[in-house]
Amino acid sequence: MKLVTLLSAATLLAAPLSAGDYDAIGKAMRQAWPQVATVAVVCDAASSKGALEAITSALPGVKLIVVDVKGQADMGKALGTLSSRHPDAVVLVAGDRVAGDGSSAATFLIQRMAAAKVPTLATTEAGVRQGAVLGIGPGTGGKLLANAKVAGVAGVSIPAGASQI
């Protein structure tokens, strides 16, 4: 497992950015929780490079912590890293081969982060049903979805107008 910290969108400007899938996540997060300054992503960084670029572009001014995992066995170490780095939120990468929406690694991550009072965000309805507090993007039909039960565990509010699952 390798930890990579990206401090700004400028770090990734060498590659073209396509933030469309994550722009709505950034907007919803800023509106619901304006105090968020550090966001973590747990994924296979090499396989999810495009998504990481998009997330970085969608969250200007937010410190991005990327925890690189290569398999399920890395998830315990990833949680240890997140515990020591104290992110304000975690964004799921829907198609990540290790911790993408629907995977057991994502469930493990979501549950542990909620217990640590760190909300998780997703771009799919499946991610919200799995336990992400908020979800918006192409996988939600553009609707803002919320998981009220997990929001209560994580100790965060749900934005007005969110459809609760």
Among candidate residues 125, 112, 123, 124, the one with its CA nearest the CA of residue 153: 112
CA 139-43-136 angle, 5° bins:
20
Look up the pTM and report it: 0.86
Q: What is the pLDDT along the chain (165 residues), one digit of tens a residue?
A: 555 544 333 333 323 334 578 999 999 999 999 999 999 999 999 999 999 999 999 999 999 999 999 999 999 999 999 999 999 999 999 999 999 988 999 999 999 999 999 999 999 999 999 999 999 998 999 999 999 999 999 999 999 899 999
Domains delineated in the chain: 2-164 (3.40.50.2300)
Helix (H, G, I), strand (E, B) or coil at 85: helix
